[in-house]
């Protein structure tokens, strides 16, 4: 994904992949900033699932406004893919832990827990999305090409790599599972 010759995901996914947030994520200089931006987009994805399943354009528009954890629990009750929910829950735990740390640094163990949660998610579509550590799996961010084992990968780069890979799997899962339920979903790249 680049923002010089911008690639944007739209239609039903436009709030989930808000271009301004993605650009801010790409330009993040601190881990907490990257985590918060990804967390915001994950919350939009949960909301999209609940809106689509319930056929309600703003399912969570009530007071008191439910928090992230409650939204995720509702999405799970509405049959959000279990592996996707596990990744989102793991990410939410990381976000909550970081909110209570002074250092705001993510450990390798925590990054690995996200990687394992992501690798357990199914991949659908014409081209299966490889596991994160596969040597031929790379993501282009700005002018930089990354593989998971690139020696110069920072935690922020790894978070982006995880998020962009998660996004591709999430789109495939949404398209497959909503289509199977005869619920229209529009995706535009």
Domain housing 137: 10-188
Residue 81 placed within a domain: yes
In a domain, residue 130? The reply is: yes
Over the stretch 14-33, which tens digit does the pLDDT of each residue have? Answer: 777 777 888 888 888 888 88
Q: Following DSSP, what letter does each residue of 14-50 receive, concatenated?
A: TTTT-HHHHHHHHT--SHHHHHHHHHHHHHHHHHHHH
42: nearest Cα among 76, 85, 2, 7: 85
Average pLDDT score over the chain: 85
In a domain, 178, yes or no: yes
* pTM value > 0.75: yes
Tell me which residue of 85, 84, 107 sits closest to 97, measured CA to CA: 107
Residue at 2 is within a domain: no
Residue 47 within any structural domain of the chain: yes
The answer, yes or no, to whether residue 10 has pLDDT greater than 60, is no
Report yes or no on 4 lying in a domain.
no
* Beta-ladder partners of 138: 147
Count of domains observed in the chain? 1
Four-CA torsion 14, 16, 19, 24, nearest 10 degrees: 170
How many C-beta atoms surround the C-beta of residue 12 within 10 A? 19
| pLDDT tens per residue across span 113-143 | 999 999 999 888 777 888 888 878 887 766 7
> Under a CB-based contact definition with an 8 Å cutoff, are residues 122 and 80 in contact?
no
* 5 domain residue, yes or no: no
How far, in Å, CA of 109 to CA of 113, rounded?
6
């Amino acid at each position: 994904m680049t923002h010089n010759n911008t690639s944007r995901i739209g239609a039903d996914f436009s709030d989930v992949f808000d271009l301004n947030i993605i650009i801010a994520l790409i330009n993040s200089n601190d881990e907490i900033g990257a985590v918060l931006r990804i967390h915001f987009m994950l919350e939009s994805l949960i909301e999209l699932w609940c809106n689509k399943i319930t056929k309600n354009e703003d399912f969570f528009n009530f007071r008191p406004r439910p928090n992230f954890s409650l939204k995720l629990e509702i999405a799970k009750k509405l049959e959000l893919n279990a592996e996707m929910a596990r990744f989102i829950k793991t990410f939410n735990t990381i976000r909550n832990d970081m909110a209570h740390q002074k250092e705001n640094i993510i450990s390798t163990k925590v990054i690995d827990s996200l990687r394992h949660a992501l690798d357990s998610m199914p991949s659908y579509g014409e081209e299966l999305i490889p596991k994160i550590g596969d040597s031929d799996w790379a993501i282009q961010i700005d002018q930089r090409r990354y593989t998971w084992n690139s020696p110069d990968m920072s935690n922020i780069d790894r978070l982006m790599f995880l998020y962009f890979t998660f996004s591709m799997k999430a789109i495939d899962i949404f398209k497959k599972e909503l289509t199977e339920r005869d619920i229209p979903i529009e995706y535009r790249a």
